[in-house]
Amino acid sequence: MREALDGKPDEPIRVGVLGARGRMGAEVCRAVDGTDDLDLVAAVDEGDELSAVADAGARVVVDFTTPDAVMDNLRWCVDQGIHAVVGTTGFTGQRLDQVRDWLSDRPGVGVVIAPNFGIGAVLMMQFAARAARFFESVEIIEQHHPRKLDAPSGTATYTARAIARARAEAGLGPAPDATKDEVPGARGAEIDGVRVHAVRAAGLVAHQEVLFGTTGETLTIRHDSYDRVSFMPGVLLAVRSVVRRPGLTVGLDALLDDG
């Protein structure tokens, strides 16, 4: 137990994990167990009762489930007044607005939703947004393990939107491209005007390249997660931060800037 500034010991934060038997959920359980300021009090997976989390007195829930399950879980957490850290993907603008709406009735509750908890991945996205205005061409290539359910990845979608915003602010038009798709999909998907290519292969974990081009030069910004432990410092930072961060926080950027 750590000591607060007033000399009294801080109570550990009681944490419940949803998706606890999954690849990420299991890693989060291990990471929380390995700290002395967080207590793992509930580990819930499909088929278990969510009420176990409230019964155990969890103050923060960490959700790594599926895009189909996450909204119901989040609604339940907000209704219960439990803070939430969400790594599950599938968050459209509409979904984020829905969460903001729920939170408006629960002013003390915090929710952090991040498409990628890897510190290197957060920096990769920031660097890409910074580079965006200097290059006429940009394409994103995301690469993941073949058991991933969604494409493109949440990280690629988030990156594409940030790049598109930066390009629009700089007054850049569409990237030059005279190619006609001979086979539908050959040029990838398009998110806010940015081409995104999703690769799935055994042996991969989570990887992304952002390729920029302009006259006579290219710039490649790349991040690789080789192991899911890479996400844990970001998840633990979010768990510790969310209790003093009411409302919705999207992405880890603000949390890293806090300290």
Ligand X SMILES: O=C(O)C1=N[C@H](C(=O)O)CCC1
Positions touching ligand X (CB under 6 A) are 89, 115-116, 144, 148, 153-155, 206
Is 8 a known active-site residue? no
Residue 154 annotated as lining a ligand binding site: yes
Which amino acid, residue 91?
Answer: F
Is 144 a known active-site residue? yes
Contact 171, 136 (CB under 8 A): no
Catalytic residue, from 8, 83, 148, 223: name it.
Answer: 148
Could you tell me which residues are beta bridge partners of residue 68? Answer: none
Residue 88 annotated as lining a ligand binding site: yes
Closest separation in Å from C-beta 1 to ligand X: 33
Residue 91 annotated as lining a ligand binding site: no
The CA distances from residue 120 to 28, 131, 224, in Å, are: 18, 16, 8
User: How many H helices and E strands in the chain?
Assistant: 8, 11
Secondary structure (3-state) at 242:
helix
Q: Are strands 83-86 and 60-63 parallel, antiparallel or unpaired?
A: parallel
> Residue 138 or residue 252: which is nearer to ligand NAD going by CB?
252
d(CA 152, CA 21): 24
Residue 19 annotated as lining a ligand binding site: yes
Catalytic residue, from 144, 197, 207, 223: name it.
Answer: 144
The residues binding ligand NAD (CB under 6 A) are 18-19, 21-25, 44-46, 64-67, 69, 87-89, 114-117, 231
From the annotation, which residues make up the binding site for NAD(+)?
A: 19-24, 46, 87-89, 114-117
Residues annotated within a binding site for (S)-2,3,4,5-tetrahydrodipicolinate: 145, 154-155
